[in-house]
Amino acid sequence: MAELGYFDKQRVELIDGEILVMAPQNDPHASSVAELTQIFGFFAESLSRGGGGKFQVRIQLPLSVSDISEPEPDLAIVEKKPGVKRGQHPCTANLVIEIADSSIPRDRKKIGLYASAAIPEYWIVDVAQKQVTVYTEPVIAPEKEFGADYKQSRVVGINEQIKPVALPMEAVAVERFFG
């Protein structure tokens, strides 16, 4: 439908077979996307130069996590793997980050979706509260939406540092996320 132009000038994503219209980005949201893009872009570039694993930072691009769900997280850090066709959306990531202002309820609904795709770490960056909720250790949970959940969650405040568990990078000050 998107290829036929049904959603021209609208940001949409497919979640559990439902096409959801995404709200326009406000300034705090856009600023946080820009900051995180810079932080993780530098990380990916430095690893590539050093000959280490190669990572791709995907900004608001689809992840094909199931036949009926193709969310477009604000950031997804994906390990490049041989054999993946050019133009094919990845089905998992090392880290997914959603930046939330008015979208907190929708982003929380995605917890089970990302856990079901075996994404080891999911962050919700709350621009209003200036904190990050970190979800790790995906587990099967039939009673939860999408049949999965994260075993661990914690809140990291603006005056703290955060270090991704699934990426070989140093800790970053959370205050940087908010420009």
Q: What does pTM read for this prediction?
A: 0.84
In the prediction, which pLDDT does 23 show? 67
The H or E element containing residue 123 is strand 121-126
- Domains in the chain and their CATH numbers? 12-178 (3.90.1570.10)
The Cβ of residue 63 has, within 10 Å, a number of other Cβ atoms equal to 24
pLDDT value of position 102? 78
Say how many Å lie between the first and final Cα of the chain, rounded. 36
Q: Where are the alpha helices (DSSP H) in the chain?
A: 27-49, 104-109, 111-116
Q: Who contacts 27 (Cβ-Cβ below 8 Å, separation ≥6)? A: none
Q: What is the pLDDT along the chain (179 residues), one digit of tens a residue?
A: 545 555 555 665 667 766 666 666 657 888 898 998 888 888 777 665 554 557 888 999 999 998 888 999 999 999 877 655 555 788 899 999 999 987 798 899 899 999 999 999 999 999 999 999 999 999 999 999 889 999 999 999 999 999 999 888 899 999 999 87
